[in-house]
Structure 1
Amino acid sequence: MSKLERIATFCGQCNCGCPELWIDPDAPDEQRVVITDDFGQRIQMSLAQLHDLVSDVKEGALDALLATTRR
């Protein structure tokens, strides 16, 4: 069993099992990044895919969606 390394917790203001970003150093390159949610689900992706996702978000890909869902 691999040892996941926690990178970030999203929210973190409660004990609901907030979504988290992990690195699995023992996983194949295409599955190294792990994102877990508060429902026990997880997705895995490569570091390159995470880089693309972060770049898209920084460039505004989700701005319209987030503008309609502000707290």
Structure 2
Amino acid sequence: MNGNTEHSMKHIATFCGQCNCGCPELWIDPDAPEERRVVITDDFGQRIQMSLGQLSDLVDDVKNGVVDQVLVAGR
């Protein structure tokens, strides 16, 4: 995270967390514009920013099995 943004962001979840590789994390930035409030960081230092509505749609799709085929094909 960068300087000023880091202090306002609220950590929600770490994905994996079983290593020291800089696992992907989910954050909420209450000071960001609504369309960029959700922040997902990866272990390469990249960020994805989206709205709470977009995150909700993503979670619904995951719960409904939309990405299951991708996960099965990747094994």
Say yes or no: TM over 0.5: yes
Aligned-pair CA distance for 1:4:
1.1
- 1:27-69 C-alpha deviation (Å, 9 max, x unpaired): 0000000000000000100000000000011101001111123
d(CA) in 2 for partners of 1:30, 1:67: 32
d(CA) in 1 for partners of 2:12, 2:22: 15
Structure 2 gap ranges (5+): none
Secondary structure at 1:55's aligned position in 2? Answer: helix
Aligned to 1:8: 13
Is the counterpart of residue 44 in structure 1 residue 54 in structure 2? Answer: no
What is the root-mean-square deviation in Å for CA atoms of aligned residues?
Answer: 0.8
With the length of structure 1 as denominator, give the TM-score of the two structures: 0.93
Structure 1 gap ranges (5+): none
d(CA) in 1 for partners of 2:39, 2:52: 10
d(CA) in 1 for partners of 2:66, 2:43: 24
Aligned-pair CA distance for 1:12:
0.1
Instruction: Work out the percentage of aligned pairs sharing the same amino acid.
Output: 73
Moved over 3 A (4+): none
